[in-house]
Amino acid sequence: MDNIEKIEAEESSIDFKKIFNDLLKHKRLYYKVLPIAFVLAAIYALSKPNFYSCTVKLSPELSSSRTSSSLASLASSFGFNLGSGSGSAGMGSEALFPTLYPDLMNSTDFKTTLFDVPVTIEGNKKKGEKDRTMSYYDYLSKEQKKTWWSAAIGGTMKAIIGLFTDKKEKEEESLDPFRLTKKQAAIVKALDKMVVCDVDKKTMVITIDVTDQNAVICAMMADTVKTRLQKFITDYRTSKARVDLEYSQKLYGEAKARYDKARRLYADFVDHNQDIMLETVRMRQTELENEMQLQYNAYQQVATQLLAAEAKVQQETPAFTTLQSATVPVQKKGPKRAQMCLIFVFLAFLGTTAWILYKEDDLKPLLGMS
């Protein structure tokens, strides 16, 4: 009972009427702070460039061996790979599991492959501007809009650095993923936020989201990233099968050459010895005929292996179903300027209120301080 009475006494010590009157007493401060906060918020929001977002969704092919096991499906929903007991193309034999695709796209090797993608900036036809085509790297490094304070700081820093560097020294622009330049590393870091890949662990649906300041380039790069990812996965899945195919093609060419040689020798020998009935001639003819037959059998066997290797490549080539194609976004995704202004004004209101309560010594009762 004593604790309850103590709490009630502390609550009764808070004079809400006094607090309200103190806030009203400084209402002119709100009239000054809130408009200034709104103007600053508007300047900040209007300085942020517009950006668009394009999303592509893919569903990779899953063979029956991958979907037949309910335990493996349950494990995959938690991100685990139990593998497969068979030697077929199951989960256990595939090192590049779909849940690793985001890590693949976040790698420097994959991001740098996007540098040479040609993009086109559409010119304003009314002003007589022509379309400009450049690499994606040049577009990101030269054509990206920045806020006025970022441009001012960047220009100042560039001028200061230029005073202490030799103008004749030029930074190498050759691309080496092992040793990127500062400029290239900055572009790769920017791509980490602009190109995002996510995989649903239950359905294995691949979602690729690309953000850019240009709506057309945004859709173009989303489709390009999808194509590059498909190609990389296809090359990986069929790498061993393609090596086997190349070896089979080599054996096929050698076997065919040996068979053609044996066939020509046999034909030439028969043509030159048609009227000769010597036993040695017949024995030589039989030897050549047997040799030709052996080479033919080897040729047929290798040809069968070649067909099997070609079928294996086709079998290992994954199929992708496009659930959502890349389209040019009509509306911008951000920035949400109205929301920014409301947040700024609300924070300014809270800050002003806290300052008034502190000045009028009303914070201590609210915070339970003696």
Region of 156 (left: φ > 0; alpha: ψ -120 to 50; beta: rest) is alpha
CA angle 216–221–226, rounded 5-degree value: 135
- Who's near 322: CB < 8 A, 6+ residues apart? 56, 57, 58, 226
Q: What pLDDT sits at residue 70? A: 42
pLDDT, tens digit (0-9, with 9 covering 90-100), for 165-179: 554 444 446 777 778
pLDDT < 50 positions in the chain: 1, 7, 9, 11-12, 64-71, 74, 78, 84-93, 167-172
**Cβ atoms of residues 33 and 354 within 8 Å:** no
Q: Model-level pTM greater than 0.75?
A: no
